[in-house]
Structure 1
Amino acid sequence: MSELPFSVSCPTCRKTVVWNEESAYRPFCSKRCRDVDLGAWSFEEYRIPGAPVAPEDLPDEIDEEDKPH
């Protein structure tokens, strides 16, 4: 018995995307949908819920391990 390929809905346009090596932009259906989603994150249209952090609670310095190389 042949199994049907696993598929998901594109998070941007809801088009069905087969989840395999040939789907280069999975879970998105295309580069355009992937870029639309990235843009939404960069413009803070998506947010992860949590309590706000007061400026005085932020560290004064970045740890050495967190600094860019």
Structure 2
Amino acid sequence: MTCPVCGQATDRKFRPFCSKRCADRDLGRWLNGAYAIPSDDPEDAEKAQEVVKTKPERPH
């Protein structure tokens, strides 16, 4: 089995990752929304569009 982040061999301690760093990188991707589960439900798409339209833009 190889690490899904970098492709190196996994370490039993961090399985399925090779290191804590790769595990943390993967967690960061989940938390930032880089990973998403697609939905075919039209209501989900409508809700998402409403949120985008009504969400006020904030300067960074």
Same fold (TM over 0.5): yes
Q: Which runs of 4+ in 1 moved over 4 A?
A: none
- Residue identity over aligned pairs, in percent, reads 43
Match of 1:12 among 2, 5, 12: 5
- Gaps spanning 5+ residues in structure 2: where? 49-60
More helix by share: 2
* Largest Rg, 1 or 2: 1
Q: Where does structure 1 lack aligned partners over 5 or more consecutive residues?
A: 1-7, 56-69
Higher strand share: 1
Report the counterpart of residue 44 of structure 1 in structure 2: 33
Matched residues, number: 44
* CA RMSD in angstroms, aligned pairs only: 1.8
